[in-house]
């Protein structure tokens, strides 16, 4: 079955460490997204990529980095510069083109806790 796989599901990090969250999709979607979810704040866009080797900052990109070397993969690195990284991170993908057909498909999420 097609879908989005995020790993790890739970991750603990010490302050000052960088961590990388994996996101892989086999839906043949061009666009991929990373969102951060905090209680009571909904979803906030970190980075998105419409095509391989290209990506754009979202609303809260500071302290994060991404790469898009393959269509299927869009890893997110949470760097030590991110002041408050404890959160639930969601990866999503969609086709591009006609807005009527665009639907976001989400992974199951990764919960990062900084100790």
Partner 1 sequence: GNSVTQMEGPVTLSEEAFLTINCTYTATGYPSLFWYVQYPGEGLQLLLKATKADDKGSNKGFEATYRKETTSFHLEKGSVQVSDSAVYFCALSGTGNQFYFGTGTSLTVIP
Ranges within 34-53 binding partner 1 (CB under 8 A): 40-43, 45, 48, 50
Provide Rg for the chain, Cα atoms.
14
According to the binding rule CB under 8 A, does residue 107 interact with partner 1? yes
Which listed residue (25, 33, 71, 85) binds partner 1 by CB under 8 A? 33
Q: How many CA atoms lie within 13 A of 53 on its CB side?
A: 0
Q: Does 102 bind partner 1 (CB under 8 A)?
A: yes
Q: Does 106 bind partner 1 (CB under 8 A)?
A: yes
> Per DSSP, which regions of 14-109 are E strands?
19-25, 31-37, 43-51, 54-57, 64-66, 76-78, 87-94, 105-106
Contact call for residue 96 and partner 1 (CB under 8 A)? yes
Both tokens assigned to 89: 């991170």
Tell whether residue 5 is a contact of partner 1 (CB under 8 A): no
Shortest Å distance, C-beta 103 to partner 1 = 6
């Amino acid at each position: 079955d097609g879908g989005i796989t995020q790993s790890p599901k739970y991750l603990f990090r010490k302050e000052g460490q960088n961590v990388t969250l994996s996101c892989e999709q086999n839906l043949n979607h061009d666009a991929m997204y990373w969102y951060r979810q905090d209680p009571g704040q909904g979803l906030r866009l970190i980075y998105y990529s419409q095509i391989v080797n290209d990506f754009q900052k979202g609303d809260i990109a500071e302290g994060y980095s991404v790469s898009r070397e393959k269509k299927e993969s869009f890893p997110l690195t949470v760097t030590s510069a991110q002041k408050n990284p404890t959160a639930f991170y969601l990866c999503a993908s969609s086709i591009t083109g006609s807005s009527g057909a665009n639907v976001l498909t989400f992974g199951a999420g990764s919960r990062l806790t900084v100790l």
